[in-house]
Structure 1
Amino acid sequence: MPHALQRRWELDALRGLMLVLMTLTHMPTMYSLPTGQPLGFVSAAEGFVFLSAFMAGRVYGNRARRDGVVVMQSAFHQRAFKLYLCQLGLLLLAFTVIAWLGVHNRQGGVTGLLEFFFIDPQAAVLGAALLLHNPPLLDILPLYIALMLVSPWLLRHALRHGWAGVLSISALLWVAEQWGLGLALHELVGLPIPYKDMGAFHWFAWQALWVTGLWLGARQQPLPRIPFWCVVPAAMYAAGMLLWRHMVGQDPMPGVPAVGLLLDKWSLGPLRVLNFASVFVLLVTFGPWLKQVLPRPLPLELLGRNSLSVFCAHIVIALFTLAFFGSPEVVRPWSTDVALLASAFAGLFAVAMAVETRERLGGRAALVWQSGPQVR
């Protein structure tokens, strides 16, 4: 097909893996904590955001060169609007059915999740519609939407003037967030929504991960070959973080908050960024070899090809599980938690297959990107 950008199945598989890890983490079972951050002090959220940025840069950068920046910008905005509609649907479910079930079933996991909504419903609903109030589990899409909205401006500038300025400003914003930029701006503006209820992800930090992925994806050259002198320390650091994570748990050093800040997920602490970078170096170095020796993970590809639908489905399933079965702190037989996870994954695969079946019947190509990243 002319001008079609061939899908890369390994990227779909990686994003499918991120969705599996997110589901294991977000489902309120006894396996939530053990399976969280399985590769060290780095989570599926970092991988998901970075991969989404890389694919957006690859597809929309190609679109800008082929059809012009105006068409590219329009495609970004259409995608962001679709994401916003998904977020509104999830919020509507949370503020109505899930909130009622949480109160009716006396499930503290739900009432805690929607705490600000129960305190000030009007401010919560208005703030959520404006992407200012983002309850737990519902705070990833707002970050994604904001980054999608700013990306066409970043791409347009970078395609005309280069990436040096964009990357420099992004790095400075990340550094400023390590010193509390977001909290300082919140106090300066005086928003009626508490800072903790605006979402766990600190946008000024996470934009750096997105901008880096966008830059790498928009490059017309393949990813650079990593020199050996970088691979060895990256492997040592990644291995050390992996052992540390599984020896002490997700709190790297209980009772020493300064160390926790260096590895903080929500502000992307510097040691955490280094952990992600080390895993990335290893993946880029050994990925081609793994691609040759491992069988294609078709189930993961299926999830990754339909990532938006699957992502929303996993949030819905997690919310209903919280409303009926409670939080991970609730003691349940292991068999019950296994059944909950099995049912959740069955639901995710059913959603992915239903979306593909619908699009196949509608005549849409499943193996190419045409008007933007088909990250349904």
Structure 2
Amino acid sequence: MTTATLRVSRAFTDLIPTRWAYPDTGATRDLRLDFMRGFVIPLLFASHFDYFSLLMFIGWERLGVVSTAEIFVILSGIVVGMVYGKKVKRDGLSAVMPGLIQRSVDLYRISVVMILLVAAIRFIPWIDSSIITTFYDAPLNLTYQLYPARDANISEVISKALLLQIGPHQFQIIGMYVVMFILFTPVVFFMLAKQKVGLLLGLSWVIYAIHYGAPFQSLRPTGAQFEYAFPIMAWQLIYVHGVVAGYYKQELLAFFSTEWGKRLIYVCIVLSLGFLVFTWHHALPHIPQWISLHLISAETFNYWNDNYFLKSKIGIGRLLNTVVLFVAMYALMTRCWQPLNRALGWFFIPLGQASLYVFFIHIFLLLAVANTPLPGYNDFWINTALHAGLLALVWVMVKKEFLFKWIPH
């Protein structure tokens, strides 16, 4: 970054009143992270309720070559590192293991319940469940069945459900998170407790590199369905680094308060803006040409996107974009927390604190909407009202704690 750019960035941040800053009390819960998780929810709705609306102007990778999945995984890792890490430091690893095991059981249970509920819904004759039981690959014009045939033996359905080999594709990231939490979290905390941070991160990168160099979809060690979209050997890199960042949160905040740390924040802000400009060259379906950029050719964009930003393998460009965007957003909320919280905190924070609940509920909202004529209208303003109404409904359900007793949140 040039000296001139640094000077402009500093001048901009100096304009922000200090009274706007986040009041860091040292509490384990960080409302900035809850806010960011809540912000992911509308982007999730833009991706899964695939109707062109105002929401698409910030969704569909418009803020960078980053999807809701990367942000969800890194935030989940950070929160796990903060919450359980505090207990590890205070009481030791053995005191934390029962909680980790119980959380693993809860996450696995809710995933299996979701899969089996959808399997049962297929037999209700007046409900078209294809929205959550099939996956349509638009570029190839192929539809994939995500469940066995309805006349399949029930033991086959149950065994595949227990192995997470079937289920709605809109819920796959939860399956990936469940397996990642079970397989990686105890190992991560064991190595953190032994102060083997360098070895831990090195092994994580080795696993990532092995998958990155392998042929497409050739390495799926769990055999679970989610690995077609979220191969665990690639996605563990984001989660493991997130847990480590959460574990050493105070040390990282102290570093970013130094001169070199502040310079790194400015670099992240500039790179985030650069990635935003890059992703606006993506010729996505339904996106009007007037909000797309044409500074580089489609061939050049596709080459860079296919080689460095592939989502399934977490291309190195996408990985860098995820990190710098997270740092830039966190810095923005740290400096401008008070106005952001007053304007949107009432909406985003409750959703962020119940993100797992929202992931569960939105599957059934997808099913409900797909069985009405509304999506067929293909009207921009109807779609916008539909997205807004669904988000408002979910917010009310969270505030009323609807079914919180049964659904993890």
Q: Classify 1:287/1:347 alpha carbon distance in 2 versus 1 (closer, same or farther; 3 Å).
A: closer
So what's the TM-score if we normalise by structure 1?
0.81
1:202 matched to 2:202? The reply is no
Q: State the distance in 2 between where 1:153 and 1:279 align.
A: 28
Q: Classify 1:357/1:290 alpha carbon distance in 2 versus 1 (closer, same or farther; 3 Å).
A: farther
Report sequence identity in percent: 22
Q: How does 1:1-376 map to 2 (within 5 A)?
A: 6-31=28-53, 34=57, 35-97=59-121, 99-100=122-123, 109-110=131-132, 112-113=134-135, 115-119=145-149, 121=152, 123=156, 125-149=158-182, 150-180=184-214, 183-186=217-220, 198-219=227-248, 221-223=250-252, 224-225=255-256, 227-250=261-284, 253=298, 256=302, 259-296=305-342, 297-324=345-372, 330=376, 332-355=378-401, 376=409
Q: What per-residue deviation string (whole Å, max 9, x for no partner) do you get for residues 220-268 of structure 1?
A: 6342215355344433332222122223235995694663141111221
Letter aligned with residue 115 of structure 2: L
Of structures 1 and 2, the larger Rg is shown by 2
SS in 1 for 2:61: coil
Letter aligned with residue 200 of structure 1: A
Letter aligned with residue 312 of structure 1: F
Letter aligned with residue 38 of structure 2: G
Aligned to 1:370: none
1:339 CA drift (Å): 3.6
Letter aligned with residue 248 of structure 2: R
- Structure 2 stretches lacking a partner, 5+ long: 1-25, 136-143, 286-296
Letter aligned with residue 45 of structure 1: A
| Aligned residues of 2:108 and 2:178 also touching (Cα < 8 A) | yes
SS in 1 for 2:280: helix
Q: State the distance in 2 between where 1:198 and 1:286 align.
A: 34
| Aligned residues of 1:76 and 1:152 also touching (Cα < 8 A) | yes
| Aligned residues of 1:60 and 1:72 also touching (Cα < 8 A) | yes
RMSD: 3.3
Q: Classify 1:323/1:208 alpha carbon distance in 2 versus 1 (closer, same or farther; 3 Å).
A: farther
Q: What per-residue deviation string (whole Å, max 9, x for no partner) do you get for residues 266-296 of structure 1?
A: 2211110111122133234433212244343
Higher normalized contact order (CA 8 Å, seq sep 6+, divided by chain length): 1
Letter aligned with residue 87 of structure 2: R
| Aligned residues of 1:177 and 1:204 also touching (Cα < 8 A) | yes
1:38 CA drift (Å): 2.6
1:208 CA drift (Å): 0.4
1:61 CA drift (Å): 0.9
Q: What per-residue deviation string (whole Å, max 9, x for no partner) do you get for residues 307-353 of structure 1?
A: 22122112221233234459x7x552334323422331132112211
Q: Classify 1:292/1:111 alpha carbon distance in 2 versus 1 (closer, same or farther; 3 Å).
A: closer
Q: State the distance in 1 between where 2:304 and 2:64 align.
A: 18
- Structure 1 stretches lacking a partner, 5+ long: 360-374
Letter aligned with residue 303 of structure 1: L
Q: State the distance in 1 between where 2:230 and 2:403 align.
A: 34
Aligned to 2:10: none
Q: What per-residue deviation string (whole Å, max 9, x for no partner) do you get for residues 84-131 of structure 1?
A: 22212221232222x346x85667645533604145855555223212
Q: State the distance in 2 between where 1:237 and 1:271 align.
A: 11
